[in-house]
Amino acid sequence: MYRKLIPAERCRAAVTEGLVEATERDRARIVQASPVRRLQQKTQVFPLDVKASVRSRLTHSLEVQETGRQITRRVLAALPEPGVPPMTLLNLVEMACLLHDVGNPPFGHFGEQVIGNWLETRHDALYSAALGASPGAEWQPFRRDLCHFDGNAQSLRLVHSLHELDLTLGQLAAMCKYPGPGLAGEGWQAKSAVYLSERPLQADLSARLGLTAGARHPLVYIMEAADDISYCIADLEDAVDRRILSLSDLLLALRGAATEPYLGEMIDAALKEDPRLFGPLREQLTDDLVSLAAETYLREHDAILAGTYPHPLLHGQSAPARALDILRNVAREQVFLRPEVEALELEGYAALRGVLETYSELLTLPATAFAALLEGRSQGRFLLRRLSHRLSGRHIKAYQRAIAAPDSRFLLPAQQEWYYRTRLLLDYVSGMTDTYVLEEYRLLSGI
């Protein structure tokens, strides 16, 4: 059943071990990878927050990992012989969950918008300065690709193209939340989150795993559900812990939004057990949502196995699913629009745009001048030489690998070089932590 979808093969190394050993090796590589460690310095809701109890991206990802494990165990308990050792499914789901946010830039989804909007504004002028001509119609797909920064797409790029972890094919595919072109369909099928730089990899994964073009790996559905379950209460808990929102105000908002007894009764039972609310509420609601996710996975198994089921596992009108929607809406209205949160985001906005603007000078150079800069042959260019010295050596090597082999998708070699040079800048800045990008902005601004 899952044998074709979960092989021991990797993109680069030859198979020298069994399937369980291969996924265990994936696990070790992922846990020890520096992008995972950096998640501890990226906050979940409140940028630049130093309070120890507030969730970082790392602690959130660990919670998602555990929730994914719970869903998978329930699926395995009811699933006929999957054709692979159950431990391999657990390993792949847990590590896909741990990696699900690894490509997020500083300041999370807000940072994605800042990067995309900045490049949308500056792209044409930077392109023209470097190539000596305005972008033509043939460049527009690459322009759209660069100007749409996406943390999901960056995760795949980070793990495979930049850090070269050489994970098993199934592990890579289990990370790809939106693998299709996003040109048609509903739900996740209408979205795309694979950069053109990784499109050949995505096509290779689909072919080798027996998936139709644009289809999801089935374990992605579990990772997606685990993420949805984990943050629904966590964001509200962090807001109360940080005193952005009082518990009494939260209870008032939740009771006002609840349209049926399910959530209200669960809140009453949780308060009776613990006046602080969140522990018992999280435990009971998580248990119900985990059951719902597993039941949907098993009920829709044929479509999920084919990677064509268009909805999340928590889609529908069941009481737990509606409670999840209520929690999301309350978090959006009562937390994310608060002046305190928006003030932190504005600080991040200024820092991120400031860093991008300073480093964008590297995108104005012709390809030969940029190569000379990297090789230390450039005379003068005081600022640019120092900026180039701050770029990550790992990212520079990935850029050099990408431009070494001609790519027929580009009309001109100079276009290929500039595309990957822009990726180099985006790789570098998006890999910064919240605190580091603020420090970099202050350094570059002399403040």
Q: Does residue 302 carry a catalytic annotation?
A: no
Q: CA nearest 231: which of 434, 57, 107, 37?
A: 57
Close Cβ partners of 256 (under 8 Å, ≥ 6 residues apart): none
Give catalytic status of residue 100 as yes or no.
yes
Q: Check 26, 101, 145, 427 and give the catalytic one.
A: 101
407 is catalytic: no
Residue 58 has what DSSP assignment?
A: H
User: Which are the contacts of 415, defined by CB distance < 8 A and separation ≥ 6?
Assistant: 131, 139, 142
Directed axis angle between helix 413-430 and helix 339-359, to 10°?
Answer: 140
Q: Which candidate in 227, 228, 427, 434 is catalytic? A: 227
Residue 26 is a catalytic residue: no
Asked whether 169 and 12 are in contact (CB, 8 A), the reply is no
Annotated catalytic residue: which of 12, 243, 377, 386? 386
**Residue 189 vs residues 202, 299, 312: alpha-carbon distances, Å:** 15, 20, 11
Q: Pick the catalytic residue from 27, 60, 216, 282.
A: 60
Active site residue 160: no
Among the listed residues 228, 230, 231, the one whose alpha carbon sits nearest the alpha carbon of residue 220: 228
Q: What distance in Å separates the CA atoms of residue 280 and residue 258, rounded to the nearest whole number? A: 18
How many Cβ atoms sit within 10 Å of the Cβ of residue 39?
22
Residue type, 183: L
Positions marked catalytic: 60, 100-101, 227, 386
